[in-house]
């Protein structure tokens, strides 16, 4: 499989993830019933599976071992934090205030993951 094509696909799913997360965050903040619509409980998960699938496919095609690449380990750690904070923001957070804080923290982690992807540095911008 072509690496560049996989990366393009990966980046496309990254955009879809962000749009769907912002949409669900807005619906959470406004107590909208749309948050519980059937499609919105299915489509983000399907997209996230493709996001992760394309990441794994790139690792295989480029013969990259994430354990030997600190920036990839940072992305995996970031992804786990993003999933945890996202679940807190959209589902598990007991109060609205906690859910909003988790939402903002999740967006911060998301920005960090993108910065790591672009710079391939654990601390983007560090010398
Ligand atoms: C929410 C999670 C993720 C986001 C937001 C994200 C974001 C991105 C972005 C924006 C790029 C494009 C970088 C460029 O244009 O140079 C990229 C590339 C890439 N990502 Fe992800 N990614 C995520 C998860 C992962 C995971 C979990 C892995 C695997 C451990 C991974 C592996 C890669 C690889 C191998 C590339 C290609 C790097 C290159 O060749 O330039 N990504 N990612």
Dist CA 26 CA 122 (whole Å): 30
| Domains of the chain by residue range | 3-119
Instruction: Identify the three-state secondary structure at position 112.
Output: helix
- Asked if 49 contacts 18 with a C-beta cutoff of 8 angstroms, the reply is no
**Among residues 59, 62, 63, 99, which one has the least CA distance to residue 76?**
59
Residue 2: both structure tokens together: 């072509």
What residues contact 114, with CB distance under 8 A and at least 6 apart?
14
pLDDT tens digit sequence for 1-20:
899 999 999 999 999 999 99
pTM (global) more than 0.75: yes
- Ligand 1 site residues (CB inside 6 A) read 7, 10-11, 14, 52, 55, 58-59, 66, 72, 75-76, 79, 82, 110, 113-114, 117-118
The pLDDT score that the predictor gives to residue 75 is 98
Residue nearest to atom 6 of ligand 1 (CA): 114
| Residue ranges for the chain with pLDDT beneath 50 | none
């Amino acid at each position: 499989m072509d690496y560049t094509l996989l990366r393009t696909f990966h980046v496309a799913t990254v955009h879809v993830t962000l749009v769907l997360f912002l949409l669900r965050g807005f619906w959470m903040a406004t107590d909208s019933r749309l948050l519980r619509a059937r499609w919105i409980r299915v489509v983000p998960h399907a997209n996230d599976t493709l996001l992760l699938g394309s990441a794994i496919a790139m690792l295989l095609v480029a013969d990259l071992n994430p354990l030997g690449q600190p920036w990839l380990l940072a992305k995996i750690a970031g992804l786990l934090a993003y999933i945890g904070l996202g679940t807190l923001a959209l589902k598990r957070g007991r109060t609205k205030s906690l859910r909003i804080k988790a939402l903002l923290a999740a967006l911060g982690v998301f920005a960090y993951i993108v910065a790591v992807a672009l710079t391939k540095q654990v601390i983007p911008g560090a010398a």
